[in-house]
Structure 1
Amino acid sequence: MIAAVLLWVQVRRLLKTNGGNWGADRSRLGFSNYGSCVDTQGWGRGVTTAGYGNVTGNNPNNKNEWYTNSFSGTSSASPIVTGTVACLQGIQKAAGRAMLTPRRARQLLRSTGSAQQAGANPVSQRIGRRPDLRALVRATASRRPWCGVQFNGSVPRNATRRWFTHSWPDHYHVIWTVVPTAPAIDGSAQIEFKVKTTRQAFGLIKYYIEIKNLKNYTVNVQARYCVVAS
């Protein structure tokens, strides 16, 4: 999932981190690219991590105690963003909710988090927001499944009819069900149905509901949906 998200991860300025003054927090570093297509940002200077050895523990000869406090660039920014998304997907899975699509993950990252600030470079040079995992969890947990009736209709005897419903956001996880509503006869199956889809436009899905009447009398039907994640 993380590779599929394809986020534009950008570097940022940190405020006096590890002794360095990188300018205003969450502002664009001079070497960072930017633009309207950028989704989110991560730390880009003065990051402490394992390896390299310019900071060591009690035993400088023990490579298990080698660290650095000057990790930077997309090498430091990327793990912050991908780690946040990985945590969020794990929370979704543990809660029994559907996994986020790449499009939905980008939408959430753009709509939550800490806003970019101006520094040596203006906010108009967009690098996006810094992820906030708590805010992301609240945003996803607040979206409960909802269900409803899309349409009612009738299918003549031994016939097949098709309806369509359009402009569903492609990050919705939709379950469709069709049930007979009349006549009430206890016996063998009255109908069968198929659901087909097409990508109507960028970000939008159209569903085709095809219903076949298995009987030699008219059957009334109702098509129901349930959005289990959005």
Structure 2
Amino acid sequence: MVMRRVYQCLFFDLDKTLWDAERNTFETLAWLLDKYHLSEKIQAKDFYLIFDKNNDAVWEEYIAGTTTKEELRLKRFVKTLSYFGVDDVSLASAFSSDFTVFCPSMPHVLEGVHETLEYLRSRYVLCILTNGFADVQKRKLESSKLDQYFMKIFASDQTGYTKPDARMFHYAVTSLRMKKDVVLMIGDDEKVDIEGAYRYGIDQVYLDVRNIPPPVTPTYHIHNISQLKDFL
């Protein structure tokens, strides 16, 4: 049984933890296919599935330091359009530009997010710890009305580090002048969020929405964000 600590600060991942990245991305891609007259040739659900795989792959490259922010944004569309027989870098660039503008303006959040954050906001310092880019993540928070809950955003392109690198967690903890034992990391990624926080030495809440076993035993294991209220 976990000995309950008295936490002061909660770090939240954003995409797929609070902000409904799957729904927001799907709706944006469907709009793009329609805008560029590809919706009759390519089904949105098929395009989303391939894009999701390519997006994950290029994000892994970014985390590893082998691709840049600009390359990431373009490459995922070049690869996805090419899969469907559309080899057009100019079109991929247009998709990328529109996606970067439109997707962060989507408002959908996961079930129970607003109610849970409203409950937590008066009890803890709430911060975002994200591998996403600061300008994009700020727009996501604003469009989904999540910005009201958070004191600070720690984004990879501002800190110079990415999760699961311990330096990302250390940057955030020391910036807030907190001690490790009063900080809790909450996220959906079993490696980036949970193993990263574990290796750094702060407690973790694994939001297990995909039924994927984590590589380490998390401090807390939940399946819905509302369950945070059971122990915080």
Q: TM-score, normalised by structure 1?
A: 0.24
Q: TM-score, normalised by structure 2?
A: 0.23
Choose between structure 1 and 2: higher helix proportion. Answer: 2
Which structure has more relative contact order (CA 8 Å, sep 6+)? It is 2
Structure of higher CA gyration radius: 1
Choose between structure 1 and 2: higher strand proportion. Answer: 1
